A and B are shown apart, each in its own frame.
Chain A
Amino acid sequence: MSDEHHDTHHVNYLTIFFVLCGCTALSVAFDLVDMPKAVTMVLVLAVACAKAMCVMMFFMHLKFEGNWKYVLLAPTTILAIGLPIALFPDIGSSYYINMAPQVGEWADEVAEYRDSRVEGEHTEGH
């Protein structure tokens, strides 16, 4: 705790506050309006990104910080984007399609698999 120099920036925090409230209301409104789920998803996440930018830029003062912010936040940003992209081809696109008990067809698939194994064992036995 020191009494070093503190930058003073002329930010109207109340305006940012109202923008954030408006964005929250917008998110709820998108939920209430009847539109395709994918569109709702994109709109709502776009609003969330806008809100996050407002908080980071003004409340967290990143807008007024030096270039160190890029060095510090770049690795985490890469991870944040990279993790879903890296997992998507396997887990995100098909992990439950073939083998999940939750998927109706699975029971039939397993039955077929078991039958084929039993048949195979019988064939080998003979």
Chain B
Amino acid sequence: MPVKIPPKKGLSLGVVGFITAFGIAAFITEQELLLVWIIGIALGFVLYRSGICFASAFRDIFLFRDFSMARVVIILIAISFVGIVIIQAFDTSGGFLEWVYPVGFHTAVGGVLFGFGMVLAGGCASGTLQRIGEGFILFWAVILGITAGSVLGVYHFSWWKNNFFSIDAVFLPDFIGWIPSIVLTLALLGGLNLLAMGIEKRNNSKNGLTEKDLAEKEVKSNG
């Protein structure tokens, strides 16, 4: 049995101390911020323990033919979708329309640059924060890069929006109706999930391994 090396007590106390102190300060500023702070801590905790990384979801498809993380992202989107549709249904003020942003050529350019950048850096935006929390000095440089790039992006945004195709926010239910939009979203997410599962299965059988083989191997190595 490998011996578990004990945690550094001083460091644990320091982290817990800061979390408490900032929580109190946030609560004094605005009560709701304490709730946001707790949700933020929970997000970080879950991200670390489960090892979810959005950059790897897209990168590992191509580098390692691994679709497991991509499927987690689909699950995350589907769950968020169900919850948000319910919120949208009960929200009569239409405040949720603020989450719907313009779309156009700038969205496509932004997507390509973001996708390329996150693979180079080794983490997307949440991954960068996550790795700072894990102690990577490198990701302090990455976040400085993100900050500088963001300023430039805000500065150039109007040029991209004015000179190329762009339309104001497209909220799908306004165009095709609520039911078709909900059905379409769920169908696309489900279809992508099935596609990922299908390719994964084909890859396994290419390696000469079926799920049954993998299960047998597991039993053998346990014995």
Say if A and B assemble together.
no
